[in-house]
Amino acid sequence: MITAFINGIIFSGEEFIYNKVLVIDGRKIKGIVEQNEIPSDAQVVDCKGGWISSGFIDLQVYGGGGVLFSDAPSVQALHQMGGGLLASGTTSFLITLATNSLDVFRQAILVTKENPHPAVLGLHLEGPYLNPVKRGAHLLEFVRKPDTSELKDLLENSGGVVKMMTVAPEICPVEFIETLKKNDVVISAGHSNATFEQGNLGFSQGIKAATHLFNAMSPFNHRETGLPGAIFKSERVSSSIVADGIHVSFNALEMSKKIMGERLFLITDAVEESAGVYPHIRDKDRFIMPDGTLSGSSLTMMKAVANCVHQAGIPLEEALRMATLYPARVIGADNLGRITEGADADLVVFNQEFQIKAVFSKGKQVK
């Protein structure tokens, strides 16, 4: 089916395009045309002056649609989470699991591998190979020392479903990092007490990203800049950040953006209420553990974009790249994050109040 999006401001991933029409054909973007070039058989979507962006990409999200996936990894949980996130404008995401038992990881891998979902890119395992000193809300009983044989066993039958893993670089031997690289897993430094030198070493070994900048990592100090200093100094390492004003202040977001430029991208780190192994409790605009530890956000990617614009002075086009193009680059997804011929027809239409008006996943409108 051919669909034409009219009366909208198109954001291609590089620039805003005015007074043109976006045309998609089935699952793919066909092109951007003049008003008088709309195919006669096209279904028309009137964007009513709103913006048309590539769908949001969230590389770290634990739950959606009322379910926390790790509570009981199942087909139902996967589809319920997927439906909830699609409705919020997130058309691609990595299901994230906090440090847990290896059995839970294996079950999550099996369910995700055997039940493809148009929005699910794979899994992000945040742990279990973390520094206990910086475990945050992760349960100490599940934190493990890096074991290359154990890792190989975990990944052996994953079918490539594990796309990203957060590890503490200061505790990971070279062969452990090499195993992740050989399995095409994006390695992200996080829950780490690394010194500046240890962070640099990890990055030189192939760690290409960092997890939720500032949260659960060694602090930036004027005498020892820690992992944040290594991230800032690098010219190639990207980092996610939670732009809710709670995980980090908006001042920290603004300054980090000025330092890192295109290397900083958005995640939600969103969870859902749960009474399971990780008992997340909603506390107004955030989630906490029973002991009060911050355990996740109630953020959406659309709200994160709005916060970047309204609270951190980041231009809209750059805030959108932080939610689309930049995370697509991190995972090497050339078909996502931009509006160009041949790219996936994952789209979000939103108005000046940052309210989502329509979402399309692989060319199909999300009801």
Q: Nearest-5° angle of CA 270, CA 242, CA 138?
A: 60
What's the sign of the alpha-carbon dihedral 167, 107, 89, 44?
Answer: positive
Q: Are residues 351 and 318 in the same domain?
A: no
Q: Are residues 210 and 266 in the same domain?
A: yes
H or E, element range at 54: strand 51-54
Q: Are residues 158 and 306 in the same domain?
A: yes
Q: Are residues 213 and 342 in the same domain?
A: no
Q: Are residues 66 and 103 in the same domain?
A: yes
Which residues on neighbouring strands pair with residue 188, listed in sequence order?
A: 166, 209
Q: What is the pLDDT of residues 28-40, one digit of tens each?
A: 999 999 999 999 9
Please tell me the pTM assigned to this model: 0.98
pLDDT at 138: 95
pLDDT at 94: 98
| Residue tagged active-site, from 269, 283, 285, 291 | 269
pLDDT at 367: 86
d(CA 99, CA 105): 9
Which residues on neighbouring strands pair with residue 56, listed in sequence order?
A: 90
Q: Are residues 306 and 361 in the same domain?
A: no
Q: Are residues 194 and 214 in the same domain?
A: yes
The number of beta carbons lying within 10 Å of the beta carbon of residue 233 is 14
CATH of the domain at 11: 2.30.40.10
Q: Are residues 63 and 39 in the same domain?
A: no
Q: Are residues 233 and 358 in the same domain?
A: no
d(CA 187, CA 164): 6
How buried is 141 (Cβ within 10 angstroms: 0-12 exposed, 13-18 middle, 19+ buried)? exposed
Q: Which residues of the chain have pLDDT under 50?
A: none
pLDDT at 147: 97
Question: Which 8-state DSSP code applies to residue 366?
Answer: P
For the record, the structure tokens of 319 come out as 């805030």
Q: Are residues 98 and 167 in the same domain?
A: yes
Helical H segments across the chain, by residue range = 75-87, 102-114, 148-156, 174-182, 196-204, 226-233, 250-260, 301-312, 316-323, 325-330
Q: Are residues 126 and 115 in the same domain?
A: yes
Query: Quick one: three-class SS letters along 228-252?
Result: HHHHHHCCCCEEEEECCCCCCCHHH
What SS3 class is residue 194? coil
Active site residue 269: yes
Q: Are residues 47 and 176 in the same domain?
A: no
Amino acid identity, position 114: E
| Domain total in the chain | 2
pLDDT at 113: 97
pLDDT at 157: 85
Nearest to 13 by CA among 338, 340, 262: 338
Q: Between β-strands 264-267 and 238-242, what pairing exists: parallel, antiparallel or unpaired?
A: parallel
For the record, the structure tokens of 283 come out as 């506390």
How buried is 123 (Cβ within 10 angstroms: 0-12 exposed, 13-18 middle, 19+ buried)? buried
CA dihedral of residues 144, 150, 151, 155 (deg, nearest 10): -130
Parent domain of 11:
2-53+337-365
